[in-house]
Structure 1
């Protein structure tokens, strides 16, 4: 069985693009920027536009975007295939890929805050402009999350430092 994951430099470049973006901005503008910069697509279902990373050809192409009162708060995407049948080999593959992503992130943004849960791990950075980047590992796949300065501020006020 073979699985795919995004090269660590690509994951960090995507996060750097969002870090450098002129926040705040509406969700529609963020989606359009992703289409122009990364070649992602927007699919409309029931009059709602959804951002899709069809370029990486992963199991799940959805890019989740969260906004509040038309101001982007968060964007998250899979950075690997979704593992349907978890095996020691698939977990080792994802673990190695996660480690390389974290190393690349550390080279760019410094030492992350690491959290190790029973079956999951996260690495999170507070980055320029008040935004946050988080890389997530679970036995089913890897993902990356970007919190805009506005979204990160809400989380900080709620006590999630």
Structure 2
């Protein structure tokens, strides 16, 4: 299989034009320390998970102008005294999105028994504290070491064999 957008040849490592320098992993507390409020645009009580990510915007507060795929369901407001996180004078703000293929949005979703990498349980989201992936958000007991509910904290993604 070849990647038409490959700039380095067919090495299998190029992600095409949307390459990013930071992988879509869990956020660090320092990245969300300037938050003062989480604003939900719709009820999240029945949502098993939302996709948490940082979004670059000119404003500290108010609904960010989200133009990505999926539906914006929430965002974080920053402290009025928060300093810009980029040389351009822009701010990194947390947003919460649902994609059309997410659980509860699509009947034949691939996420019936697991969750996307950036998924967090909306009940664990608070200002200044990154969301967490829980068993509720995962969709089933996790099958990897260090996952929610396993009692392991080694952070490994090594599969765990369950007794048959």
Task: Determine if the TM-score, normalized by the shorter chain, exceeds 0.5.
Answer: no
What TM-score does the superposition give when structure 1 sets the normalisation length?
A: 0.30
User: Who wins on radius of gyration, i.e. which is larger?
Assistant: 2
Which protein has the bigger strand share?
1
Give the alignment's TM-score, normalised by structure 2. Answer: 0.30
